[in-house]
Structure 1
Amino acid sequence: MKAFDFSDTSVCVSRSGIAPLLAAFGAYQARGERVIKRHLGVEDLHTGGDGLYPVPRFLEAIRELQEQFGPSFIHRMGVLVFEKSTFPPGLDSAAKVLASLDHAFHMNHPNARGKLGGYHWTSASDGRGSMVCDTPYPCSLDAGILEGVLAHFSTRASVSHDEAKPCRAKGGESCTYLVEW
């Protein structure tokens, strides 16, 4: 699906899915939180309600932040998301984490299965593979998330956009990343 192109307000992102993005803002957290709260129509992201927010509203906040700070800032947020996220025990390798990203994505978007796209990992060999992302989030965020995962396990890791495939930043329905570590 195209970046930011999602209108089903019944599909939600959880508070726990937003928290790592906020933490990744670092010194700009208060500013990022203001933008996100305004788009979600809440006064406090940390308490109250069921902790579920409509994805289209959250996407509008991400779009505004990308317009204010640029794709490189959103990319940096993605890099830090892995560092700020909680993953279950046993995910002790890049291959295991990459294979579990779709599951983690849907845990943070509890009613989105079949509606919001996902992360589709294909292992090509030991230390190599490709990830197809077809969520409505910007490719700068996804590339950053992948780089953050790999940086945790290897200093020689690389993530590159497969230029022969579509790109959501250019109106495509998905992005394909070639991953190596």
Structure 2
Amino acid sequence: MQCVPFEEGIEIKGQTLKSVVDGFNAFAVLGSAYLLDEGIGTRSPNGLVSLDPEGWYSQRSCLLCFQQIGRQLGDGLLMQIGMAIPRNAHFPDGIQNIHDAIRTLDVAYHLNHRKNGRVMWDPSTRRMEEGIGHYGYEPVPGQRKIFSLCNTPYPCAFDQGLLTAMAQRYASNARVTHDNASLCRKLRGDRCGYFISW
């Protein structure tokens, strides 16, 4: 099910949340209002939300924000927010192609979240904390295709946007389609599958 945290006390890095404002493009004040309504950030004099890029903010509040955006403005905007993530979030070094991009997405996801005050991916020990789900990576043999099974609390459309932006960074013709055989989180399922082809 989307927009319900798997665990309490999870936080998201402030720089990553800038994607909400970026997803609204010319309507950044509206994106800011959704964040502010959930107690995320502070209002700056120009009406935009002010987020500390190195600060940490409640995942629960962020998911409530996404829920409201989805209900009031639809999946298209959630997809745009997901597509803005690669411009804002911290990603591991060394990504050179579409396979690296999708394979390391789960590490990046955990790098931008923390639990009990600790970032959920430690590069020195390569230890990953559980509590936010995962982005899968499964190449389809003999095809220019990857299957990604996502079991995160984020909206389906958001994840599709994130996968699209990551794939198109390294293969401009990449397309992401929802696997209709998986029980979608929008339909109260616990995961969604996506095919990335190029």
Using the size of structure 2 for normalisation, the TM-score is: 0.81
> Contact (CA 8 Å) 2:92, 2:107: kept in 1 or not?
no
Residue in 2 that maps onto 1:96: 100
1:15 matched to 2:14: yes
Residue 110 (structure 1) shift:
2.0
Residue 137 (structure 1) shift:
0.5
- Deviation digits for residues 48-107 of structure 1 (CA, Å, limit 9, x no counterpart): 9x7111211110011111122111111122223324445344212111010111111111
What amino acid is aligned across from residue 159 of structure 1 in structure 2? V
Residue 42 (structure 1) shift:
4.0
Residue 35 (structure 1) shift:
1.3
Specify whether residues 160 and 22 from structure 1 end up closer, same or farther in structure 2 by C-alpha distance, changes over 3 A only.
same
The share of aligned pairs that are identical, in percent, is 22
Specify whether residues 81 and 47 from structure 1 end up closer, same or farther in structure 2 by C-alpha distance, changes over 3 A only.
closer
Using the size of structure 1 for normalisation, the TM-score is: 0.88
Between Structure 1 and Structure 2, the one with more strand by share is 2
Deviates more, 1:149-158 or 1:81-90: 81-90
Deviates more, 1:12-21 or 1:137-146: 12-21
Tell me which of 88, 106, 112 is aligned to 1:108. Answer: 112
Distance 2:39 2:171 in 1: 37
1:81 matched to 2:80: no
1:46 matched to 2:60: no
What amino acid is aligned across from residue 13 of structure 1 in structure 2? I
Residue 129 (structure 1) shift:
1.5
Distance 1:18 1:41 in 2: 9
> Contact (CA 8 Å) 1:159, 1:179: kept in 2 or not?
yes
Distance 1:77 1:169 in 2: 17
Distance 2:93 2:178 in 1: 30
- Deviation digits for residues 111-153 of structure 1 (CA, Å, limit 9, x no counterpart): 2531111211112236322111111110000001111112222
**Long gaps (5+) in structure 2:** 44-49, 121-128
Tell me which of 137, 149, 171 is aligned to 1:121. Answer: 137
1:136 matched to 2:140: no
1:31 matched to 2:30: yes
Tell me which of the two structures has the higher relative contact order, counting C-alpha pairs closer than 8 angstroms and 6 or more residues apart: 1
Tell me which of 179, 186, 190 is aligned to 1:162. Answer: 179
> Contact (CA 8 Å) 2:21, 2:28: kept in 1 or not?
yes
Deviates more, 1:66-75 or 1:123-132: 123-132
> Contact (CA 8 Å) 2:13, 2:113: kept in 1 or not?
yes
Tell me the C-alpha RMSD between the 2 structures: 2.1
> Contact (CA 8 Å) 1:80, 1:145: kept in 2 or not?
yes
Residue in 1 that maps onto 2:47: none
Distance 1:17 1:83 in 2: 9
**Long gaps (5+) in structure 1:** none
Deviates more, 1:162-171 or 1:35-44: 35-44
> Contact (CA 8 Å) 1:82, 1:145: kept in 2 or not?
yes
Distance 2:81 2:41 in 1: 22
